[in-house]
Amino acid sequence: MVVGATKFLNPGPLRFPDEFVRHKILDLLGDLFLLGGPLLGHVSAVKSGHQGNVAFVQHLKQTLPLPGRRPGSPPGEWDITAIMDIMPHRYPFLLVDRITRIEEGESIEGMKNVTINEPFFQGHFPGHPIMPAVLILEAMAQVGGLLLLNSVEDPNDKLMYFMGIDGARFRRPVTPGDQLRFKLTLLKLKGQTSKMRGEAYVDDQLVAEAELLATIVDRSPR
């Protein structure tokens, strides 16, 4: 619809008497979707536009306790309590300590501090502690799972299942005192199934890499 100085320039009448208002409401709803999570509240907009809507959403992202982050935390960074709001894993199988960066629908970075108190070091191996390679992949997958679960409407009703691992390589052992940093990039997303490229680093040295295939499923009722 194009409006001139004194009349509509498009042929034909308006489809609805309040068509312009409807258009503005749809614009606002689309911009609020950028929040990346549910918003429980009442929004009033007067003469709103995309620029103001987006600025409002950015303000909400930095101040509200949205799923996956706490008020006052740096944008894109989640502490362990925020992680536990989404992830179903608990001790001794929660292998992510912090999310340091997230690009919704694209990539995520997280970290795991490896200490001698990890329960698996009791048997792997006594006197020569090395983090099992399969648990490095598990930690990598949990970071990727946060990227996926953060994109669904109610992550507390969902689980992420591993479906496949391709091209797994382990470059050096991970031992107590190391800090694992994970970088995962979403390669493909079809429905609830995803493929991600994962890398794990210690002191900027690549220690493990793999491509992970996973799917999001409904959590079974208790």
Catalytic residue among 50, 59, 89, 128: 50
The token pair that represents 179 in the structure block:
């800090």
- Cα→Cα distances 5→2, 9, 46, 112, 152, Å: 10, 9, 22, 62, 45
Give CA–CA dist 141/208, Å, rounded.
12
The answer to whether residue 128 is catalytic is: no
Give CA–CA dist 31/5, Å, rounded.
29
Q: Of 97, 122, 126, 91, which Cα lies nearest the Cα of 110? A: 97
- Asked if 182 and 109 count as a contact pair (C-beta separation under 8 A), the reply is yes
Catalytic residue among 59, 89, 124, 128: 124
Give CA–CA dist 136/87, Å, rounded.
17
The answer to whether residue 124 is catalytic is: yes
Give CA–CA dist 53/45, Å, rounded.
9
Q: Mind telling me the catalytic residues?
A: 50, 124
